[in-house]
Structure 1
Amino acid sequence: MKKEEVSYIYLILIHAFFALLMYALPFTAKLYTLGTFIFGLYYIIKTKNKNNEVLIMSAYVVSMEVLVRMTNGMIINEIGKYSVLIYLFIGMIYTGFSKKAFLYWIFLLLLVPSIVLSTFSLDFDTNIRKAIAFNISGPVCLGISAVYCYQRKISFDRMKDIITAFSLPLVTMVIYLFLYTPSVKDVITGTQSSFETSGGFGPNQVSTLLGLGIFVFFVKLLFDSKSRIMQLINFGFVLTFAFRGIVTFSRGGVITAVVMVIVLLAVMFFQANSRLRPKIGLIILLSLLSGLGVWGYSSLQTRGLINKRYANEDALGRKKKSQLSGREILIETELMMFVDNPVFGIGVGKNKELRRHETGIDLPTHNEITRMLAEHGSLGAIGLLILFFTPMFLFLNNRQNILGLSFLVFWLLTINHAAMRTAAPAFVYALSLLYVQIKIPDETEV
């Protein structure tokens, strides 16, 4: 094994120890959060962001956010998004950003009218600052991340370092889940999303990060596993994350991961030459067989209840009325708000209040697309168009960012079932805007 691989194995073991520490001594989760933030500041300032250390630390923080929420390690709410924003601002001070990123400055400006409107429209007894911050911190984090990443040149090797940074806190999280629920079979009794198999935290958000873990370790298996032992380690983690993601009984993260893998394999297949395509075809076949194997094991561990969950049935095999676990009502009410207020929307954070007054349902949005339409009106629609089409055009101009479309898929599918509760969809989206170079030309070639 190479020195880098040995170092990575040591890092995995250290992060496995973190899981044991947090489970045995819960207060250490707060120390982990604070220590990570301070180390990130030190690391970025010391290196002056010469090799985009900001992206490494941001990826690490994004992956640890749900873990520290799960273990009560949050120092302040939205610490994931705020940490990423602080890192990115420091990175911009050292290495600037592209002047061509004006589209994302426009996106950020499109958010302003609805923020102003909400200061007048929110109920008197509502905490205006919290209501606005809860709903707008995600889009702002996305906009700033996009400004930093837009057409920023990095090597594919550096992209692999970002993937590694994602992977480490995810190792801690998945091991913590095994410590929290050693036996899945003993706690699964129905087909609803399971808090017991999600570390006692929201299955939707846990599933999202476990899905990201499936993709992250799949990428490491394909592009960062030169020795046989690294292949076994990364393949083992792919299967482990798939199993733990499935048994949360929250479908969004698993489906997102599957689509991301399919998109990556499709990009690789169509960009490969005729000599490499049979190998990619073999990878596709092995991935399919592995997926079936994990599903079969999950079905045994849940006594077939996971099959009913994905068939949208209850424990007795009866079809559920709702296809989206009740989210249809939230989507419908937000679309009606958009129809009634098509220009500037109803104001940031107002949709929860209106829904409570009109239907009695006191729930925040689960869908960022309909939230943008409801709260920002036509300006939100324009913002969504910017977000969707820009990475598509950039990919056509730089096919070397082979992970770009998968990153876009993660953002698009995640915001449809988990809105932007965490920093993950915002930051991962921004990675689709990077100008990745697999082969960096020599100066003479330039």
Structure 2
Amino acid sequence: MLNSKKNINKRLLLIGIHIVIGFLGTIPIISKLIFLTILFYAFFDVFTKKNSNNEALLWSAYFVGAEVFIRMTGALVFYETGKIYISLLLILGYLIEKFKNVINVSYVFYLLLLLLGIVFTRIPEGESLSGAISFNLSGPISLGIVAIHCYKRVITNNLLKKILFYSLLPIFSMVMFMYYRTPDLSEIVFTGSANYYTSGGFGPNQVATVLGYGIFILGVFIFFKIRLTGSRIVDSLFLIYFIYRGLLTFSRGGIITAGICLAVLFLIITIYSEKGIRSFAKYIVMIGFFVFGAWLYTSGVTGGMLDNRYAGKNAIGVKKEDITSGRIALFENQLNNFLDSPILGIGVGNGKYKREMSAKKITAASHNELTRLIEEHGIIGVFSLLILFFTPLTNTIFNGDVYQRAFLFSFFIFWFLTINHSAMRIAFPAFIYGMSLIKIEGREYV
């Protein structure tokens, strides 16, 4: 049982270890040694056990939660290590496991379509072609590999909760690291923009995305009465603190996405549950209370700037012309580039350089994977998106009981919303998309 004393003690020990790792992450050489050791052990574990218990998926879940923390501490071998490592783990797991799922041809076709875009890549002289391709395609390619591995893979209910827990562990480390790396809040000047100081000195968008995933997992555990620590109060305090740290980043996308996905999960199960709405009302109200309390406190310590940030206002309370932090201008530019070259697109990685040379001088890389695919891959990108949308919707989400649909639809929305505000900078969108393709064995009633 998930709530047995033995399992609770094991979870407590692992959480404690990862909180300590968060502190040790402030020492770069120790952080690097820890994660290199875990990297090698994960491969060893998958290989020796022949992926008999989905070890590849479990370790992938772990590194999805750890990737941003590893980047923050400088422990990566190279920047895209997370996506590449997860891809290699899942390929290894698939090749050596005894019983293999049937490969979905749609995702093989999707990968081939992505690779075709490389042929039309033309970047300015002096720029790194391999760097541009790696930055833009490592995420989509890893998504294809995760999708092939996960498609209709049977996952027990207990294994699903274990996968979520594995993802959560390194997020505890990241939160602890952020605590030590954040200056006294009274020394920080909060504005209407995302804040690097409260994000552990790293990109707020990526940090908030992973924190949002942690909030989602903690919300799921509380909703399904799975005790992390044996105490509902302590588990609730963890959730409140995660929400608080997420709000402090002033990066809205990851936190709003987590809230929407939790709401979708709760709503689907609540509406169709045999126990009715009353049975779940207390959990929905409780989590809503946590959010409200964390919001009031965070708004107070930031001098009300949190309210301005989420209302799309600047530091003096004036409504911004563009509350999307420049994403609308990027979208319009990408759409124009697609219309200029609709068949083959402008080539992988070319969007950023073309914007730099334009009169508007928009230098930012795309934050939206949908528009990037269309801009850089043209009609090929459109076909790729159709595959990504319709395969999980037709083959998985609409073929299962309410419990399965609630989780898989939440995972699918998590992927969709994340790639719309953070593209595929990290491995998380690829992984959570793959999770929308699994088959959950054994229904749980709460």
Q: TM exceeds 0.5?
A: yes
Q: Please give the alpha-carbon distance, in whole angstroms, between the structure 1 residues aligned to 2:280 and 2:184.
A: 36
Change (3 A) 1:227 1:331: closer
> Kindly tell me: are residues 48 and 228 of structure 1, through their superposed partners in 2, closer, same or farther at Cα, counting changes over 3 Å?
closer
Residues 214-257 of structure 1: CA deviation (Å, up to 9, x unaligned)? 00111122235258834233222211111111110110111011
Instruction: Return the alpha-carbon distance in structure 2 between the equivalents of residues 105 and 312 of structure 1.
Output: 41
1:115 is displaced (CA, Å) by 1.2
Query: Which position in structure 1 is the counterpart of 2:233?
Result: 232
8 A Cα contact 1:97 1:147, kept in partner: no
Task: Determine whether 1:332 maps to 2:332.
Answer: yes
Q: Which residue of 30, 39, 42 maps to 1:40?
A: 42
For 2:77 and 2:134, the matched residues in 1 are separated by 16
Q: 410, 413, 420: which is aligned to 1:409?
A: 413
2:51 aligns with one of 38, 43, 49: 49
C-alpha displacement at 1:176, in angstroms?
1.0
Aligned-pair CA distance for 1:281: 2.2
1:105 aligns with 2:105: no
Taking the aligned partners of 2:229 and 2:139, their CA distance within structure 1 comes to 40
Which residues of structure 1 form unaligned runs of 5+?
441-446
SS in 2 for 1:27: helix
Q: CA deviation at 1:98?
A: 3.0
Comparing 295-304 with 122-131, greater Cα deviation is found at 122-131
User: Structure 1 residue 253 and structure 2 residue 254: aligned?
Assistant: yes
> Do the aligned partners of residues 132 and 227 (structure 1) sit closer, same or farther apart at CA in structure 2, a change above 3 Å counting?
closer
User: Partners in 2 of 1:320 and 1:211 — Cα distance?
Assistant: 25
Matched with 2:92 is 90
Deviation string for 1:60-119 (max 9, x for gaps)?
Answer: 11111100111111111201001101101111112364335111112112212211111x
Give, in whole Å, the separation in 1 of the partners of 2:271 and 2:106. 30
Identity %: 37
Q: What SS class does the counterpart of residue 357 from structure 2 fall into?
A: helix
Query: Is 1:263 aligned to 2:255, yes or no?
Result: no
Tell me the amino acid that sits aligned with residue 353 of structure 1.
Answer: Y
Report the residue type matching 1:340 in the other structure.
D
Q: Work out whether residues 97 and 148 of structure 1, in 8 Å CA contact, stay in contact via their aligned partners in 2.
A: no
Letter in 1 for 2:28: P
Of 403, 420, 423, the residue aligned with 2:424 is 420
Q: d(CA) in 2 for partners of 1:227 and 1:159?
A: 15
Match runs of 1:165-204 below 5 Å: 165-181=166-182, 183-204=184-205
1:144 maps to what in 2? 145
Asked if structure 1 preserves the Cα contact closer than 8 Å seen for 2:143 and 2:434, the reply is: yes
Q: How far is 1:182 from its partner?
A: 5.7
Which residue of 2 is the match for residue 444 of structure 1? none
In structure 2, the residue matched to 1:283 is: 283
Aligned letter for 1:46? T
Please give the residue correspondences for 1:4-153 in structure 2 after superposition, counting only pairs within 5 Å.
4-23=7-26, 25-95=27-97, 97-99=100-102, 101-118=104-121, 121-153=122-154
- What SS does the aligned partner of 2:289 have? helix
Distance 1:280 1:336, change over 3 A: same
RMSD of aligned alpha carbons: 1.6
Distance change in 2, residues 1:30/1:303 (3 Å): same
Does the aligned pair in 2 maintain the 1:5–1:230 contact within 8 Å? no
Q: Secondary structure at the match of 2:312?
A: coil
SS in 2 for 1:343: coil
- Does the 8 A contact of 1:348 with 1:376 survive in 2? yes
1:221 paired to 2:230:
no
Deviation of residue 184 (structure 1)? 3.0
Superimposed CA distance per residue, residues 304-354 of structure 1 (whole angstroms, 9 cap, x where no aligned partner): 110011111111111112121112221111111111111111111111111
Distance 1:227 1:412, change over 3 A: closer
- Alpha carbons 2:12, 2:228 under 8 Å: kept: no
**Quick one: which amino acid aligns to residue 437 of structure 1?**
E
Cα shift at 1:124: 2.9
Q: Is the 8 A contact 2:246 2:255 kept in 1?
A: yes
Tell me the equivalent position of 1:163: 164
Q: Work out whether residues 58 and 166 of structure 2, in 8 Å CA contact, stay in contact via their aligned partners in 1.
A: yes
Q: Residues 113 and 234 (structure 1 numbering): CA distance in 2 closer, same or farther, change over 3 Å?
A: same
Instruction: Give the alignment of 1:363-378 within 5 angstroms.
Output: 363-378=364-379
Q: Which amino acid aligns with 1:9?
A: L
Shift in Å, 1:396: 1.0
1:98, 1:152 within 8 Å by CA — same for their partners in 2? yes
Give the Cα separation in 2 of the matches to 1:346 and 1:224: 50
- The one-character-per-residue Cα deviations of 1:151-189 (angstroms, maximum 9, x if unpaired) are 001101000110110010000001111111263343143
Letter of the structure 1 residue corresponding to residue 19 of structure 2: A
> Secondary structure at the residue paired with 1:436?
strand
For the residue of structure 2 that corresponds to 1:403, the secondary structure is helix
Does the Cα contact within 8 Å between 1:163 and 1:220 map onto a contact in 2? Answer: no
Counterpart mapping for 1:295-334 below 5 A: 295-334=295-334
The answer on 1:380 being equivalent to 2:386 is: no
Corresponding letter in the other structure for 2:344: F
User: Which is worse superposed, 389-398 or 420-429?
Assistant: 389-398
- Deviation sequence 1:201-225 (CA, Å, 0-9, x none): 0111111111111001111222352
* 1:83 aligned partner, one-letter code: Y
TM-score when scaled to structure 1?
0.94
Alpha carbons 1:33, 1:75 under 8 Å: kept: no
The one of 428, 433, 439 aligned to 1:435: 439
What is the one-letter code of the residue matched to 2:40? I
The CA deviation at 1:266 is: 1.1
CA displacement at 1:43 relative to structure 2: 1.0
SS in 2 for 1:229: coil
Deviates more, 1:7-16 or 1:90-99: 90-99
Deviation at 1:260, TM superposition (A): 0.8
Change beyond 3 A, Cα 1:233–1:339:
same
- For 2:200 and 2:344, the matched residues in 1 are separated by 40
Give the partner amino acid of 2:418: T
1:443 maps to none
| Mapped partners of 1:15, 1:228: distance in 2 | 14
